[in-house]
Structure 1
């Protein structure tokens, strides 16, 4: 049964890859055109390979911009395991569920008291996928000193890239398929 699910998911991934155009890497993606299988990657021009490579992009919001998004701030304050689980599911492209990641985060928090040891790896993975700068300091340091702020920033970053965090990876894939399949809007009839 698990093999059938893997085959179906593999086919869905192939169909999505074939139906979505590749997004350019220089400008950030608009929120409603997700490229779920191919995040922006660093691309260099062969003619300018000896020049400085293109620098990492800044985050869409600052580390302490929690006041601008009260809902994710409250969620992270009261249930950081849910915020982390949602981030991990999107970053892992659905290979781990929100519940599984959140439960592991909680277990590590209860056993060691340092869930930041687990969550900082996802910050690094998110930065790698979207070529974000490592600022204001290292990922591990940010998560050790400001765990909740770091989780809120990562949550906002994924939302700014068009993900609906509450529906998870598979929900975002389905939403994108519906958007891609819908016919374009037609303007009014002929006029003089």
Structure 2
């Protein structure tokens, strides 16, 4: 389990989990939605976050601006470094890698992003659940 101040995996470790890598490359809205639901403490559902991501991508191709805000929230919640560069640059230049790193970070901290916020909160064993939401 990772501690405050350090990412549990590197930005370029995105292909360490082939399933997550493929999902994120072909459907980044799903990975983003799962991350956003956990990071927002259930305030934004996976479906809603993913739909907004797709809409922004379809209309402007600037979905990275939206997704980088959740990276910033995750970093703030766990005192993670703004590395290798600022959140917006990471998402602009390497969004799939950023999304998989954020997903892996949540898993390393005891969350199951695929299950959603409610399932994680109901388990009561998700570290930081009180800190991240309701």
Name the TM-score, length of structure 2 as normaliser: 0.88
Indicate which of 59, 78, 91 corresponds to 2:39: 91
Q: How does 1:27-176 map to 2 (within 5 A)?
A: 28=3, 57-176=5-124
> Structure 2 stretches of 5 or more lacking a match?
126-134
Distance across 2 between alignment mates of 1:67 and 1:113: 24
Q: Which has the higher helix share?
A: 2
TM-score (norm 1): 0.62
Segments of 5+ residues of structure 1 without an aligned counterpart are 1-26, 29-55, 178-192
Which structure carries more relative contact order (alpha carbon 8 Å, separation 6+)? 2
Structure whose CA Rg is larger: 1
Tell me how many residue pairs correspond in the alignment: 124
Residue 174 (structure 1) shift: 1.3
Q: Structure 1 residue 93: deviation in Å?
A: 0.2
Q: Which 4+ stretches in 1 moved above 2 angstroms?
A: none
Looking at structure 2, the residues matched to 70 and 161 of structure 1 have their Cα atoms a distance apart, in angstroms, of 20
- Cα RMSD of the aligned pairs, angstroms, is 1.3
Alignment of 1:5-16 (within 5 A): none
Render the CA deviation track for 1:71-117: whole Å, top value 9, x for unaligned. 21111011100100000000000011000000000000000011101
CA positional deviation for 1:67: 2.3
